[in-house]
């Protein structure tokens, strides 16, 4: 944690880091790695996740690789300010599921001298910017984009293609509902999904 001397006062300097990418790209694994290093340095660390994310565990944050770290589920971003207290490093997983107030909360924490590390999907299943992530990426001092491997061609994947028929924006799922794809394979898969619907409308 950086310290800055101002007159006779010394205070911590905070900042925001964003780890983004598609599903299965290792975002949570990287988040946990950074938080473990902070814990090793004996810094006060707390990690939060949205209360709706119960895929692997109701409380802990769990990566696809099975790495686990203790976390605190919260219903909305305002809870972070109440729970952060004298924490030096705050981790936030699945940031795309939080409300639009999250960027303001993260900015407040950083201004208070907290290192804020955020992990989340940068795009939804339709390839559009997801929730508060674009705002967070724009205001962050550091942005790391990680990549998965395209399940169709083996190139770097940046898109999370939903194989499930649901059109709901939020659909918690794993390999049974999503697959990482490169741009070309994502466009082809989306076109293949849209074709039957267009044919059905034309038939009506």
Domain count, the chain: 1
pLDDT of residue 10: 43
Q: Report the mean per-residue pLDDT for the chain.
A: 84
Average pLDDT for residues 81-108, to the nearest whole number?
93
Q: Which residues are catalytic?
A: 94
Give the structural domain span for 11. 2-146
Q: Whole-prediction pTM value?
A: 0.83
Q: Domain for residue 177, yes or no? A: no
Q: Domain for residue 33, yes or no? A: yes
pLDDT of residue 196: 56
Q: What is the CATH number of the domain that holds 70?
A: 3.40.50.300
pLDDT of residue 65: 61
DSSP 90-158: EEE-SGGGS-TTHHHHHHHHHHTT-EEEEEEESB-TTSSB-TTHHHHHHH-SEEEEE-EE-TTT-SEE-
Q: Domain for residue 204, yes or no? A: no
- Say if residue 17's pLDDT is above 90: yes
């Amino acid at each position: 944690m950086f310290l800055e001397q101002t007159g006779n006062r010394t205070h911590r300097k905070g900042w925001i880091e964003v780890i983004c990418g598609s599903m299965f790209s290792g975002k949570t694994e990287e988040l946990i790695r950074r938080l473990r290093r902070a814990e090793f340095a004996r810094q006060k660390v707390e990690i939060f996740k949205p209360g709706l994310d119960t895929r692997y565990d109701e409380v802990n944050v769990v990566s696809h690789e099975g790495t686990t770290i203790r976390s605190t589920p919260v219903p909305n971003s305002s809870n972070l300010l109440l729970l952060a207290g004298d924490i030096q490093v705050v981790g936030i997983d699945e940031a795309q599921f939080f409300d639009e107030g999250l960027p303001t909360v993260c900015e407040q924490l950083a201004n208070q001298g907290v290192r804020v590390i955020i992990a989340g999907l940068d795009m939804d299943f339709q390839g559009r910017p997801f929730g508060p992530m674009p705002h967070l990426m724009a205001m962050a001092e550091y942005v790391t984009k990680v990549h998965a491997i395209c399940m169709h061609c083996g190139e770097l994947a940046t898109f999370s293609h939903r194989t499930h028929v649901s059109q709901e924006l939020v659909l918690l799922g794993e390999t049974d509902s999503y697959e990482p794809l490169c741009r070309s394979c994502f466009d082809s898969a989306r076109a293949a999904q849209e074709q039957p619907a267009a044919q059905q409308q034309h038939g009506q």
